[in-house]
Amino acid sequence: MPRRSIISMAWVLLLCSAGACPSRAADAGGPIRVGAVLPFSGGVELYGQQAKLGLDLAARDINAAGGILGRPIEIIYADDKTRPEAAADAMRSLVEKDGALAVVGPITSRNLNALVPLAESSKTPLLYATNYEGGKCSRYLFAFGAVPNQELGQLLPYMTQTFGNTYFLLGADRVWPHQMFDIAQPLIEKLGGKVVGTKYTLGTETDFSPLIKEVAASKAKVLLFALKGDGMDFIRQADEAGLLKDITVAFLGLSEVDLGIFRGKGQNMVTVVPAVAASDDPSVKAFVAKARAAAGAGVAVSNYVMTHYNTLIALKAAAEKAGKLDKEAIIDAMAGLTIASPTGPVTLGQDHHAAMNMFIARTQGSELVQVRALGEITPQPGCSLAGR
């Protein structure tokens, strides 16, 4: 073996022993690896598949346009199993073994809580594209989904004005529902409303009859609903029991991917989202058509597809603004960045959260339909990067 090759191999072995083994992502001209920590099992895999659809579309579009700084992008997927421990293991592997330039995901708040410290310790951008309760500001976290003022702050005034000011809060006994309801209660009271009942489910319920009777007995006009995953069958049972004739559901986090679970039940439920697939806007129609051409005509296309698509478009724009594939330079370039999206511009503020157009929508048939365009809503994440 030539002496130069032996020396090169020795350097590689030395770097690997120090935990800095070069990855294929670092090879000149090789693919740029981006990790994706998403649920493909564990109860919320519908949203993992929607996220994957958005990322696959973005990667295809980016590569067709010449990649990022002339190099193709490659997405490496890892199943977080909807568990924090699995999410953490997945991110460590993606960063340390696969050399991911950035990581997209997860979906749940519990898993986000597990990944932010890893993003900070590995100094790797974490691109989070799900609506959440806010409160997380980190140099290494960028949030592309809605925070409470963009969702609750728009939904509650509409519900109070349109349907009534008495609320029953129903959610899963998890991080996101608890924190969203803690934020909702003072907002409801400020609007002159009243919370007449609050309940959290354990995820083991199959017969929701007792809970349906409890909600009915409260005489609430609005059911603020944050019961995703295993509890979604509540809607069908509540509709069949007649509850939804007397109460209107304000559904946090509702999207088109959920609607098949209801089997035609749960009409006229209201939500606030960053995209409505049934929109007549030409840009949205083109995006939805592209997604269905890739995944199949019958596949639901939700805002999860679009927000995850946006993560890679922003990564490309930031890398090209920085002029190099350096994590710290990309983070600096992404703060304040504006990208084009199917629903209009998305701007990542200095707090790393996204200002974007939002829409009130309701369930109609097998679709969400737009009720009102709210325009661009600037996020109030409840935290700041100042001094960090």
CA distance 9 to 30: 19
pLDDT at 70 over 90: yes
Q: What is the DSSP string of 338-368?
A: EE--TTS-EEE-TTSBEEEEEEEEEEETTEE
Q: Looking at residue 9, what is its pLDDT?
A: 40
Angle value at C-alpha 108, between 337 and 384, nearest 5 degrees: 40
Q: Looking at residue 203, what is its pLDDT?
A: 84
Q: Are residues 142 and 47 in the same domain?
A: yes
Q: Looking at residue 1, what is its pLDDT?
A: 45
pLDDT at 41 over 80: yes
The CATH number of the domain where 241 resides is what? 3.40.50.2300
Question: Whole domain around residue 246: which residue ranges?
Answer: 152-252
CA distance 143 to 137: 9
Q: Percent of the chain, pLDDT > 90?
A: 88
pLDDT digits (tens, 9 = 90+) for 262-303: 989 999 999 999 999 999 999 999 999 999 999 999 899 999
pLDDT at 29 over 90: no
Q: Are residues 121 and 224 in the same domain?
A: no
pLDDT digits (tens, 9 = 90+) for 332-369: 999 999 999 999 999 999 999 999 999 999 999 989 99
- Cβ atoms of 360 and 156 closer than 8 Å: no
In a domain, residue 45? The reply is yes
In Å, how far from its chain's centre is CA 21? 32
Q: Are residues 165 and 245 in the same domain?
A: yes
CA distance 248 to 268: 8
pLDDT band at 43 (very low <50, low <70, confident <90, very high): confident
Structure tokens at 288: 């939805």
Q: Are residues 331 and 239 in the same domain?
A: no
pLDDT digits (tens, 9 = 90+) for 86-122: 999 999 999 999 999 999 999 999 999 999 999 999 9
Q: In sequence order, what are the residues at sequence separation of 6 or more whose Cβ sits closer than 8 angstroms to the Cβ of residue 9?
A: none
- Cβ atoms of 215 and 223 closer than 8 Å: yes
In a domain, residue 303? The reply is yes
Dihedral (C-alpha) 8, 11, 13, 17: value to the nearest 10 degrees?
A: -170
Whole-number mean pLDDT of the chain? 92
Q: Looking at residue 10, what is its pLDDT?
A: 39
Q: Looking at residue 243, what is its pLDDT?
A: 98
Q: Looking at residue 315, what is its pLDDT?
A: 98
- Cβ atoms of 272 and 255 closer than 8 Å: no
Q: Average pLDDT of 137-161?
A: 98
Q: Are residues 83 and 136 in the same domain?
A: yes
Q: Are residues 103 and 171 in the same domain?
A: no
Q: Are residues 45 and 137 in the same domain?
A: yes
Structure tokens at 35: 């990790």
Q: Are residues 156 and 122 in the same domain?
A: no
Q: What is the pTM of this model?
A: 0.91
Residue 88 to residues 105, 106, 114, 144, 161, Cα–Cα distance (Å): 11, 10, 6, 21, 43
Q: Looking at residue 230, what is its pLDDT?
A: 66
Angle value at C-alpha 102, between 51 and 359, nearest 5 degrees: 40
Pairwise pLDDT comparison (64 vs 230), residue with the higher score:
64
In a domain, residue 267? The reply is no
Q: Which of 203, 236, 252 is the last residue of a domain?
A: 252
Q: Looking at residue 241, what is its pLDDT?
A: 97
Q: Are residues 300 and 198 in the same domain?
A: no
Q: Roughly what angle, to the nearest 10 degrees, separates helices 209-218 and 233-240?
A: 70
Q: Are residues 41 and 141 in the same domain?
A: yes
pLDDT at 207 over 90: yes
Q: Are residues 47 and 115 in the same domain?
A: yes
In a domain, residue 271? The reply is no
Supply φ then ψ for residue 377, to 5 degrees: -115, 120
Q: Average pLDDT of 185-204?
A: 96
In a domain, residue 199? The reply is yes
Q: Are residues 138 and 163 in the same domain?
A: no
pLDDT digits (tens, 9 = 90+) for 217-263: 999 999 999 997 767 899 999 999 999 999 999 999 999 999 988 98
Q: Looking at residue 387, what is its pLDDT?
A: 56
Helix ranges (H only) for the chain are 3-17, 45-64, 84-96, 109-122, 152-163, 175-190, 209-218, 233-240, 282-295, 303-322, 327-334
pLDDT at 13 over 80: no
In a domain, residue 270? The reply is no
End-to-end CA distance of the chain: 50
pLDDT at 24 over 90: no
In a domain, residue 366? The reply is no
In Å, how far from its chain's centre is CA 122? 22
In a domain, residue 213? The reply is yes
What's the number of domains the chain is made of?
2
CA distance 221 to 162: 10
